[in-house]
Amino acid sequence: AGRGRVFRTITLPLAAPGVLAGVVLGFARGLGEFGATITFVADVPGQTETLPLAIYAALQRPGGDATAWRLAAISVAISLVALVASEALVRRVGRGTHVL
């Protein structure tokens, strides 16, 4: 079997429970962080506005969907850059423990 078929039929089904757990935990963490931020810090534009609060504010405005999508893409990009930087740092240190 080719690499693609092995990935689709073996690797992906075996990884599915872990991926699903990660998605659920990530969503719960994001929701908890959003709730704590909006409850205790409030949302002062230009001072305490975070990406989740900016996405929420954009979704509350008529026609703000495009802005919300752009902010979500920025959030994902920042996360990927942080993950790649973390992995590069671990590999550079060379202690044998990898994040991924």
Asked if the model's pLDDT at residue 99 lies above 60, the reply is no
Q: What band does 100 get if pLDDT is binned at 50, 70 and 90?
A: low
| Full residue range of the structural domain in which residue 84 is found | 42-100
Choose the final residue of a domain: 41, 56, 72.
Answer: 41
Q: What is the pLDDT of residue 96?
A: 55
Q: Do 21 and 33 have their domain in common?
A: yes
3-state secondary structure 53-100: HHHHHHHHCCCCHHHHHHHHHHHHHHHHHHHHHHHHHHHHHCCCCCCC
The answer to whether the pTM exceeds 0.75 is no
Percentage of residues in the chain having pLDDT higher than 90: 34
Give, to the nearest 10 degrees, the angle between helix 51-60 and helix 12-36: 80
* pLDDT over 90 at 66, yes or no: yes
Is 33 within 8 Å of 42 (Cβ atoms)? no
Same domain, 53 and 94: yes
Q: Are 23 and 16 in contact (CB under 8 A)?
A: no
Are 18 and 34 contained in the same domain? yes
